[in-house]
Amino acid sequence: MRVVSYSVPVWFPPRTGEDVRPRARLTEQESAVFRSLATGASNQELAVELQLSVSTVKFHVHNIRAKLGGISRLQACLLAALARESAGSQEPGRPGADPLRRVPAARRG
């Protein structure tokens, strides 16, 4: 299973009493759902786009939100949009810093 890490940017509003920003380790399928959240699509629309059941999408969205520190769906959508934008800005010849630094983690055997 491939795992992808996402960091919540330091400027993102922290949860009450939170000092350290969480680093989310999303599975490959969670990562696909996360990136698709950037469109603001409903669970039904995401399910059609990703060829998954609605309950599977709900499961992944719930896990994503929890792994990102219990953020709201809207906050997850905003972070996904930033991740998409910053991934595009990392192409050769395009300037920009990556606020959600996407780092592939080691594979588990």
Tokens in use for 107?
């594979």
Is 88:94 a contact under the CB 8 Å cutoff?
yes
Query: Can you tell me the distance from the alpha carbon of 102 to that of 87, in angstroms, rounded to the nearest whole number?
Result: 8
Low-confidence residues in the chain, pLDDT < 70: 1-23, 88-109
**Model confidence, pTM:** 0.65
96 within 8 A of 89, measured Cβ to Cβ = yes
pLDDT tens digits for range 80-103? 988 888 776 555 444 444 444 444
